[in-house]
Amino acid sequence: MPEIESVSENALFGKYEVGKLLGCGAFAKVYHARDVQTGKNQIRTDGLLHTLCGTPAYVAPEILAKKGYDGAKVDVWSSGVVLFVLTAGFLPFNDPNLMDMYKKIYKGEFRCPKWMSTDLKRFLSRLLDTNPETRITIDGILKDPWFKKGKHKEINFYDEDPYKGTDEKKDENSASTSLNAFDIISFSSGLNLSGLFDDSYNVVDDGKRFVSTESPENLMKKVEEFAKEERLRVKRRKEWGLEMEGQNGNLMISVEVYLLTDTLFVVEAKRTGGDAGCFTEIWKNKLKPVIMAA
């Protein structure tokens, strides 16, 4: 067996030693990789990776072809799969039979739900382009209409901290902005990285969310009626958002509705103050059933 020089920054994945790894799975960017048994470098003179890796449902077709692939272009494909799952609720390429699933990936066979917007369908088709040479680039993503939606829209910002006083008058007719890719991803509880950077970080609320097809106006009306029945003070923060407060200040809840598509909306309820147990009980047994009622 050839002698292999150890590198402190390397990591072992099965029989492969990977150096200077950034990311993981299909999103990994590898600067050098070699087989620990043979010492053979997995990045060849063409500058492309030649190792089959990544979660099966997320791998790009060029990885399956085993002809070498560009890591950045593979990342774009995997990002497309992630976005599809976040917006559709299921995988674009899925089959109980692994080989059949690989065939679907290789051919780019997937169907978007009918309720998806035209811009989103077009964006996903560019991300999940089976040809890496014509697949949308990072620059292209930043310029795509769906990705940019809401980015440059003039909106009024509101104080998210209920304990921070302000004399500024809120515009009660300002509607919530629609969700872009970053907003949707940030809703995933598994992606809260704040604790990695600040030991003193403390989450006040673990937000409760669900998707609804009911109009924001009707949803807000239901919340206001609930607040009236429970004798909670209501402060309208924007057209699709409000804040409720208990009479003795022992509980503060904010409810906001976000536009996901033309016919789908995300309802988010947060505890902005008060007892966590009380918030969970009210949400589960009272507020959520009222909002979700047909």
Check: CB of residue 78 under 8 Å from CB of residue 23.
Answer: no
Q: What is the full per-residue pLDDT of the chain (294 aa) written as tens digits?
A: 333 333 334 444 444 444 433 344 444 444 444 554 555 554 444 444 444 444 678 888 888 776 777 878 888 998 999 899 888 888 899 888 888 888 899 899 999 988 888 999 999 999 999 999 999 998 899 899 898 875 544 434 333 443 344 444 444 444 445 665 556 555 554 444 443 334 433 334 456 887 788 888 888 889 999 999 988 888 877 778 888 988 777 788 889 888 877 777 888 888 888 888 888 888 888 888 888 875
Check: CB of residue 10 under 8 Å from CB of residue 18.
Answer: yes
> What single DSSP character describes residue 245?
E
In whole angstroms, what is the distance from residue 272 CA to residue 167 CA?
20
SS3 content of the chain, % helix, strand, coil (to 5): 35, 20, 45
**Residues in the chain, total:** 294
Residues whose CB is less than 8 angstroms from the CB of residue 116 and which lie 6 or more positions away in sequence, other chains included: 87, 88, 124, 261
Topology given in CATH for the domain delimited by 55-148: Transferase(Phosphotransferase); domain 1 (1.10.510)
pTM of the model: 0.40
Could you tell me how far CA 65 lies from the centroid of its own chain?
Answer: 29
The CATH architecture assigned to 181-194+203-292 reads 2-Layer Sandwich (3.30)
- Angle subtended by helix axes 71-88 and 118-127, to nearest 10: 150
Domain locations along the chain: 1-53, 55-148, 181-194+203-292
